[in-house]
Amino acid sequence: MRLVRYGQAGEEKPGIVDKAGAIRDLSATVRDIDGAFLAAGGLAEVAKLDLELLPKVAEGTRLGAPVSRVRNFIAVGLNYADHAAETGSPIPAEPILFNKAPSCIVGPNDDVVIPKGSRKSDWEVELAIVIGKKASYVHANDALDYVAGFCVCNDVSEREWQIERGGQWMKGKGCPTFGPLGPWLVTPDEISDVQDLGMWLEVNGERVQNGSTRTMIFDVRKIVSYTSHFMLLEPGDVITTGTPPGVGLGFKPPRFLKAGDTMALGIDGLGEQRQKVVAYPG
């Protein structure tokens, strides 16, 4: 299944993509796509529906993030061997975990706002995991049983604040609009091998990232298992899993986002995002 949330920001309704690529409205049977829906077995109930009986949503309708009311937005740093190499960093012995603020989550095609005072805002195409049920001390062999699905994430990052200002990375990771998710929440049965997905990102039409989940240092199973040993993962939590090479920080000289830039990004089977970069208002 490919689940979506559509409509004006803050007023999104649940939907599902049919075989022809049209969005069908789920709001008559589903309140929202969130942790409560996932915990209650909502995916299994939606799978029973005849999509042809559901009303179509108008083409061009805005899409929100495919999961709402996210409580924990967790990220993994330096999780691609080729990305670690471009930054001159050693291969981590264990996953590097940090938080992104849930308030930074926006729709896949919403504007990305350069924060006030930012000089080094950057891009990162990433595979994001959405947790489907409570996970604590999960064995890696069982980890995929706790995954509701996957989606595309742009882990937008302010490098000066992340790296040069001391403390934890989260300072450069959680600014408003720094977490576009979607367009879809794709259930695992739609993906033949989550560790063999092509991924890319373009800035102003130039392909700057072109990688694959094959080069992950720690795979999806390891990430879910490892994280569950340090915190309780709950339905609707999101873990974004790192980026391949080609980020602005890795260019010589580095290249960073500015107002007027556009980003396009995607992952095989998970859809595409498109964002315009705008200045902080005022």
DSSP annotation string for 64-101: --SSBS-S-EEEEES-BHHHHHHHTPPPPSS-EEEEE-
What size, in residues, is the chain? 282
pLDDT at 282 over 80: no
pLDDT attached to residue 55: 98
Average pLDDT, the chain: 96
User: C-alpha distances in angstroms, 69 versus 10, 28, 186, 229, 240?
Assistant: 11, 20, 18, 23, 16
Say how far apart CA 23 and CA 94 lie, in whole Å: 40
- Output the pTM of the full model: 0.97
Q: What is the pLDDT of residues 117-176, one digit of tens each?
A: 999 999 999 999 999 999 999 999 999 999 999 999 999 999 999 999 988 888 999 999
pLDDT at 164: 92
Coil, strand, or helix at residue 43?
helix
Contact 105, 70 (CB under 8 A): yes
Residue 81 confidence (pLDDT) above 90: no
pLDDT on residue 256 = 98
Topology of the domain comprising 73-278: Fumarylacetoacetate hydrolase; domain 2 (3.90.850)
In the three-class reduction of DSSP (H, G, I as helix; E, B as strand; rest coil), residue 222 is classed as helix
Q: Which whole number is the average pLDDT over 215-221?
A: 97
Q: At 27, is the pLDDT very low, low, confident or very high (cuts 50, 70, 90)?
A: very high
Lowest model confidence (mean pLDDT) among 157-171, 222-236, 259-273: 157-171
DSSP state for residue 221 in the 8-state scheme: H
For the chain, which residues make up each domain, given as ranges? 2-53, 73-278
Amino acid letter for position 141: N
**Which pLDDT value is given to residue 83?**
82
